[in-house]
C-alpha cells in the first residue's frame, strides 16, 4: 500500500464520524494525547498529513466537556497560586522581610 492509499483509507473510514460530528455539533477527541479537534480542524490536519489515525483512535464528544475540564483545571491552578502566595507572605512576615 502506498502512503496515499493508506491516507485515503483512513479518511474514508472516518467519513461517517465526520458526518455525525457535523450533524450533532461534536468534536473529535483523541484519547492518546487528549487532543480535541473540530471536524474542520481535523480535516485540515489530515490534508497536511497529520493526525492520520483510524476511527478506533477517535471518539466524538461534546466540546462543552473539554470546557468543563479546563474550568476545573483553572480553578485548581488559581487555588494553588493563592495558597502559595499566602504561604510566601507568611514566611516573609515571619522572617521580617
For 24-42, the pLDDT digits (tens) are 999 999 988 899 999 999 9
Res 1: pLDDT? 77
In this structure, what are the phi and psi dihedrals at residue 65, rounded to the nearest 5 degrees?
Answer: -60, -45
What are 7's three cell numbers?
Answer: 491516507
Strand-pair partners of 59: 29
21 pLDDT band, cuts 50/70/90, is: very high
What sign does the dihedral 48-59-32-62 (CA atoms) show? Answer: positive
Confidence of residue 80 (pLDDT cuts 50, 70, 90): very high
Q: In this model, does residue 63 exceed pLDDT 90?
A: yes
> Above pLDDT 70, what percent of the chain?
99
- Cell numbers describing residue 21: 460530528
Amino acid at each position: 500500500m502506498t502512503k496515499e492509499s493508506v491516507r485515503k483509507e483512513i479518511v474514508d473510514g472516518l467519513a461517517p464520524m465526520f458526518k455525525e460530528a457535523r450533524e450533532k455539533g461534536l468534536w473529535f477527541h483523541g484519547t492518546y494525547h487528549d487532543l480535541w479537534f473540530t471536524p474542520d480542524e481535523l480535516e485540515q490536519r489530515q490534508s497536511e498529513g497529520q493526525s492520520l489515525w483510524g476511527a478506533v483512535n477517535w471518539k466524538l464528544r461534546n466540546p462543552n466537556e473539554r470546557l468543563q475540564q479546563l474550568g476545573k483545571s483553572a480553578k485548581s491552578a488559581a487555588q494553588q497560586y493563592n495558597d502559595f502566595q499566602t504561604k510566601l507572605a507568611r514566611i516573609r512576615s515571619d522572617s521580617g522581610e
